[in-house]
Amino acid sequence: MGSIKDVFHRMGSPRFFYHGSSVWVRGLYIVGVLGLIVGSFWGLALAPPDKYQGDSFRIMYMHVPSAHLAEMVYFACAVAGFVYVVWRMKMADVFITAAAPVGAVLTLLSLASGILWGMPTWGTGWVWDMRTTSVLVLLFLFFGLIALRQAIPRRDRAAYSVAILALVGVVNIPIIKYSVDWFTTLHQPASITFANEPTIETSMLWPLLVNTIGLYIFIAGVILAAMRVEVLKREQATEWVRAITRGMQR
Amino acid sequence: MGNFGVQFRRDLLVAIRGRTETANPIAFFVLALSLFVFAVGTDSETLPRVAPGVVWVVALFAAMLSTENLFHRDHDDGSLELMLLDSRPLFLGILGKLLAHWCVSGLPIAILSPLAAVFINAPFEIIAILVGTLLLGTPVLTLIGGIGAALTAGLGRGGLLLAVVVMPLYIPVLIFGSGACYRVLDGATVTGPVLWLTALLAGSITLAPFAIGAALRGSQEY
């Protein structure tokens, strides 16, 4: 009776979350790393080389998943922000705190791998094309979330402000994307497209899918682990956390 | 209309009576423009080409730096709390404050921009579109900057924090604003970017005050 509400309440309890999530972290890590190993091996060794780019296209197996995940992490932060603003659920804020740096690292990773990919194929590391530019803006949005939290000393106000900023940011993402698209088509004739290769071979697509799903699962594990640390930090005054730390010292 | 008029009148009076603080954005605008000229040089080829972009970026910085103290004083003397407790719609009160702020920051910059354009050798044909896009764009900058100012109200450390929070959200305004000017230079039609700026203005007038209100509530609750 009232079981959904019950689960909702228990999910919101840091203690329940901490104890319930330890199995999940391990499981997600194992499955995620396995997926990444299989996908990377498949993509780096088994998939055929690209007709135009040779072997250099293989960095795609890292570049595309990280860029995709970075965006998804931002959307997840915005959803959590909505949950926090509406229901003031503490765990939603713990999620944003843990996920924002992870998202920023993913964004940096996709930018860095993009630069490495661009050097041999485009002949230059950085091009102001639509995707690079909007990923760069995404990085700024993550920095904003992190900086705002660092700047506000009171935790509940920081949580509320960061949640609102995440929501404002997510409303702006489509506008930013459109404007960047407009900007790049204006300043930059389509000099860099994958010449005559708009679609991707299925033999190249499968490892990409495996890697993306693997990274999804792995990142879920990373964020969950970071959330557990954050929960311990925030609840350090409570008896149940003290019991855990006493156990660790022994 | 009550709250809108009250806040608008009060903020405008405060701004006009505190003259130096009000003149700061304009002084900054002119100073930063000349800094750009010192850095880029007075080459008759490059300066006219970069001029519209430079005017836009400097206007953006001026708008952003001036929003910093949008809520600071009200937060410190408690009038912000009173505005939030008022039973009249907060939305209109905030809009009144922002309009008053725009009248002393964005509007003078837009009015001064022809002078600034001449000052940095911008081609004459862009002056009309520059003023037009600034008139459409600077209110959006004020509205978005207001969100950042509300989020950081009372923290006593605006400045760079506000820049990091707000600048990514400014990007579309900058792209369409200076883009329209370059379209005129290239002889293309400007309908697209101007319509976009108008859409951004309409969207931010309707949405930003809600976000600002929520952020201000947050700043007082805790």
Delimit the domains of chain A by residue range. Answer: 58-192+200-235
Residue of A63, A56, A186, A214 lying closest to A129 (CA atoms): A186
In angstroms, rounded to a whole number, what is the distance separating the alpha carbons of residues B76 and B27?
Answer: 26
Chain A CA closest to residue B204: A172
Reduced to 3 DSSP states, what percent helix, strand and coil does chain A have, rounded to the nearest 5? 85, 0, 15
pTM score, whole prediction: 0.87
Instruction: Write the DSSP symbol of residue B126.
Output: G
Question: B184 — contact with chain A (CB < 8 Å)?
Answer: no
Q: How far does A140 lie from chain B, in Å, by closest CA?
A: 6
Q: Which helix (H) or strand (E) holds B140?
A: helix B127-151
Q: Decide if A164 and B211 are in contact by the 8 Å CB cutoff.
A: yes
- Look up residue A46 and give its amino acid: L
Question: B17 — contact with chain A (CB < 8 Å)?
Answer: no
Tens place of pLDDT per residue across chain A (250 aa): 456 677 666 667 888 888 888 888 899 999 999 999 998 888 888 877 776 677 777 888 888 899 889 999 999 999 999 999 998 888 899 999 999 999 999 999 999 988 888 777 777 777 777 778 888 989 999 999 999 999 888 888 899 999 999 999 998 888 888 887 777 766 544 444 444 444 566 777 888 889 999 999 999 999 999 999 999 988 888 888 888 888 776 6
Task: Tell me the ipTM for this assembly.
Answer: 0.88
Q: Decide if B164 and A171 are in contact by the 8 Å CB cutoff.
A: no
In angstroms, rounded to a whole number, what is the distance separating the alpha carbons of residues A74 and A102?
Answer: 10
Count of H-run helices and E-run strands, chain A: 8, 0
In angstroms, rounded to a whole number, what is the distance separating the alpha carbons of residues A11 and A139?
Answer: 30
C-alpha torsion B18→B7→B147→B170, nearest 10: -70
